[in-house]
């Protein structure tokens, strides 16, 4: 069975493929469907964006589509950067700029108030328009300077709860076991196993 991942982000494809590795699923990406349109992430929730992307891609490919939307919520910043995580420092901002803005916004926030969580919503859309969503969370705190070179995004400043190292200092396998995307994908995987008879014909 084919599933199209609604992303061109290579790190996300690697991470998702690794987690879905044990299943009888042929993973395709948007690079296999160059004519599919870019979908604008203009919803104000992670779920809204994930469902919008998955529906657009199943419509364009006629295959089951999986999209995710994820980001970082800092409690002391009332949930920012939230759905703006990828472009917190402006449209087209890179990870270094986004982290720079976050650390500067948080410079006066004391250590005990630097709690944050990563959120991931995965949406599955079938060609008939049916959708399912799966959520995952990773609780932790924001450090004061970037540490580590693994991962992507805000990983160098995110310390998962109970750890003294950032996500960027962990191996991919260690991060998968704790991450919001790992948690959401576990729910997705359980669902796929339980509903095999529905999707194997598609
Ligand atoms: P999107 O899900 O592609 O819209 O990306 C959301 C943004 O949230 C990314 O560009 C990162 O800045 C951030 N983000 C999401 N997941 C992670 C993660 O696992 N580590 C670090 N940053 C993340």
Task: State the CATH number of the domain containing residue 180.
Answer: 3.90.950.10
Q: Which residue has the tokens 């998955």?
A: 54
Residue nearest to ligand 1 atom 11, measured at CA: 153
Of 2, 24, 68, 69, catalytic:
69
Give the pLDDT confidence of 23-82 residue by residue, as tens digits: 778 889 999 999 998 899 899 999 999 999 999 999 999 999 999 999 999 999 999 999
How far apart CA 60 and CA 33 sit, in angstroms, is: 9
How far apart CA 150 and CA 6 sit, in angstroms, is: 23
pLDDT on residue 194: 84
pLDDT on residue 32: 93
How far apart CA 134 and CA 125 sit, in angstroms, is: 12
How far apart CA 191 and CA 197 sit, in angstroms, is: 11
Judged by average pLDDT, the poorest of 14-18, 83-87, 112-116, 148-152 is 14-18
Q: Which residue has the tokens 């402006």?
A: 90
How far apart CA 145 and CA 138 sit, in angstroms, is: 20
Distance between Cα 85 and ligand 1 center (Å): 6
The DSSP bridge partners found for residue 166 are: none
Pocket test for ligand 1, best of 45, 152, 176 (most atoms within 8 A of CB): 152
pLDDT on residue 12: 76
Query: Which ligand 1 atom minimizes the distance to the CA of 181?
Result: 19
Please indicate whether residue 69 is annotated as part of the active site.
yes
Domain count across the chain:
1
Residue nearest to ligand 1 atom 9, measured at CA: 86
CA-closest candidate to residue 147, choices 164, 172, 166: 166
Residues written for the chain: 202
**What counts of helices (H) and strands (E) characterise the chain?**
6, 6
How far apart CA 98 and CA 114 sit, in angstroms, is: 17
CA-closest candidate to residue 135, choices 198, 73, 75: 73
Distance between Cα 86 and ligand 1 center (Å): 6
SS3 category, 171: coil
Query: Which ligand 1 atom minimizes the distance to the CA of 9?
Result: 3
How far apart CA 177 and CA 186 sit, in angstroms, is: 10
- The pairing of beta strand 2-5 with beta strand 64-74: parallel
User: Looking at the predicted structure, is the pLDDT value of residue 145 above 90?
Assistant: yes
Query: Which ligand 1 atom minimizes the distance to the CA of 180?
Result: 19
Domain coverage including residue 151? 2-200
User: Looking at the predicted structure, is the pLDDT value of residue 201 above 60?
Assistant: no
């Amino acid at each position: 069975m084919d599933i199209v991942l609604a992303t061109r982000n290579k790190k996300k494809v690697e991470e998702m493929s690794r987690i879905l590795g044990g299943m009888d699923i042929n993973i395709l990406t948007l690079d296999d469907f160059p004519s599919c349109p870019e979908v604008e992430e203009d919803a104000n929730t992670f779920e809204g964006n994930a469902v919008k992307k998955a529906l657009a891609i199943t419509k364009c490919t006629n295959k089951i589509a999986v999209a995710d939307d994820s980001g970082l919520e800092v409690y002391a910043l009332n949930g920012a950067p939230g759905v703006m995580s990828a472009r917190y420092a402006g449209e087209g901002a890179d990870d270094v700029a986004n982290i720079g803005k976050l650390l500067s916004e948080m410079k006066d926030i004391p250590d005990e108030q630097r709690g944050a969580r990563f959120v991931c919503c995965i949406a599955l859309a079938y060609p008939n328009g049916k959708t399912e969503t799966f959520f995952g969370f990773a609780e932790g705190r924001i450090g004061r300077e970037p540490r580590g070179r693994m991962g992507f995004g805000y990983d160098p400043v995110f310390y998962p709860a109970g750890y003294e190292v950032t996500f960027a200092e962990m191996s991919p396998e260690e991060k998968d076991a704790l991450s919001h995307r790992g948690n959401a994908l576990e729910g997705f995987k359980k669902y796929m196993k339980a509903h095999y008879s529905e999707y194997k014909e598609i």
